[in-house]
Amino acid sequence: MSANEKELLRQLFDAAVAAAQPAACLPFALPDPPAGRTIVVGAGKAAAAMARAFEDNWSGPAEKLSGLVVTRYGFAQPTARIEVVEAAHPVPDAAGLKAAERILDAVSGLTADDLVIALISGGGSALLTLPAPGITLTDKVAVTDALLRSGAAIDEINAVRKHLSAIKGGRLAVAAHPARLVTLAVSDVVGDDPATIASGPTVADPTTRADAAAVLDRYGIAPPPAVGDHLASAACESPKPDDARLAAADYRIVASGPVAIAAAAEAARKMEVEPVILDDAATGEARDVARQHAATVAGAGRENPGWPLVFLSGGELTVTLKGNGRGGPNTEYLLALALALAEEPFAGPGIHALACDTDGIDGSEDNAGAVLTPDTLTLAAAADLDAQAFLDDNDAYGFFEALGDLVVTGPTGTNVNDFRALLVQPPPH
């Protein structure tokens, strides 16, 4: 990949991330200060950046402001009055449990004159972990790990999480009642469903314990005995949409994937590259979506609106782990894309691509994603790297690491899911 092409793709990714930064989008959604206290709580990969943006733009008296948010290890940012703690993601740990206990304590015993601000973003499900009575953290870790490996969709995973929790699935909102509750959310969920974002701690839960049990059954997951007993008990049911304690809760989505993709499209136009949005809410297995995209872009020259073209897509892809490798959905997408493009006839000089997660973490590794070049497979063969074998082992990380093509950004401060850009140059005359 030439320096210009690499720079172009990275600039598009940076534009997408910038559009979803809390500092850029959260100030416009702030409510008026209350007569009483303002308690800020929250969880997610963007929680620290959101807390900082809140403090920088809050017009209420500082002496009436306090709070606590929990974010992923390494994602903290400096704040003045809202405490930031770190915990494990995607598999929960004791630090997340302690933070969730403190958050429940912070919103308990409030009055109607008080205001609770919930700063919610993707990753909150694992970070805001407080097992229901009778379930241990070990039980919950076992179920979470099995779900993450199963290829289950995020709404399925969260249906289980909500019914094993003492804080998610609307229970945080119940604890804050009768204080006014306003949730400000950075959405990492396709469709922006508040009940799915971070497992909906501040909204009613439309799923049932039977739904949760069905997910485990669907993916062949045998839960620990305590989890099975809990799901069989009516006591585990979450607050439902007709719960009066949640009726006045206010939910505001301040950033989402489609906004980020639109920002990247506008940046492309400014660079005189014609954007084509394939899908800003793609779902499914990463390798399957890659094959679909390869078929689409390989014939780009037939009905193109202009040259060069960049095909953009967002959403949240999944990987069903069957091998022993390391690799999140974005790197697996790119490796599958390279193999699929090799089988497609294409008249132009080739396709360059970037696929990254907007939070800076692809799966559970230290990279945001990777880049693909027209000669990726040629270079891999010269280095004795079997691309298909790496894909079969779910080790796209190892493949792109060996080629020096990982994209490492560190924590970005936001989380609106995947970003993919496929750059197609004009065919030769």
- Nearest CA-CA partner of 16 in 424, 409, 350: 409
- CA distance from start to end of the chain: 21
- How many angstroms separate the CA atoms of 140 and 130, rounded? 9
* Full strand arrangement of the beta sheet holding 406-407: 274-285, 309-318, 418-424, 351-357, 369-372, 406-407
Q: How many residues does the chain have?
A: 429
CATH class of 3-16+258-424: alpha beta
Instruction: Quote the pLDDT of residue 99.
Output: 98
Q: Do domains 3-16+258-424 and 21-130+165-204+239-255 have the same CATH topology?
A: no
* Omega cis (within 30) before 33: no
Instruction: Quote the pLDDT of residue 425.
Output: 82
Instruction: Quote the pLDDT of residue 151.
Output: 82
What are the extents of the domains in the chain?
3-16+258-424, 21-130+165-204+239-255
The angle formed by the CA atoms of residues 168, 171 and 173, to the nearest 5 degrees, is: 110
Cβ contact 295:327 at 8 Å: no
String of DSSP letters for 100-142 = HHHHHHHHTT--TT-EEEEEEETTHHHHS--BPTT--HHHHHH
Residue that is written with structure tokens 């993707």 in the block: 122
Instruction: Quote the pLDDT of residue 227.
Output: 96
- How many angstroms separate the CA atoms of 222 and 99, rounded? 28
Structure tokens at 313: 């897509």
State the virtual CA torsion across 343, 344, 347, 348 in degrees, nearest 10. Answer: -80
Cβ contact 290:315 at 8 Å: no
The CA-atom distances, in angstroms, between 256 and each of 15, 45, 102, 193 are 14, 14, 28, 11
Collapsing DSSP to helix, strand or coil, 222 comes out as coil
CATH class of 21-130+165-204+239-255: alpha beta
- Nearest CA-CA partner of 286 in 331, 257, 318: 318
- How many angstroms separate the CA atoms of 418 and 260, rounded? 10
Structure tokens at 296: 């689409």
* Sites in the chain below the pLDDT cut of 50: 1-2, 347
Instruction: Quote the pLDDT of residue 304.
Output: 63
Angle between helices 329-341 and 396-403 (to 10 degrees): 70
String of DSSP letters for 131-194 = BPTT--HHHHHHHHHHHHHHT--HHHHHHHHHHTBSSTTTHHHHHHTTSEEEEEEE--STT--T
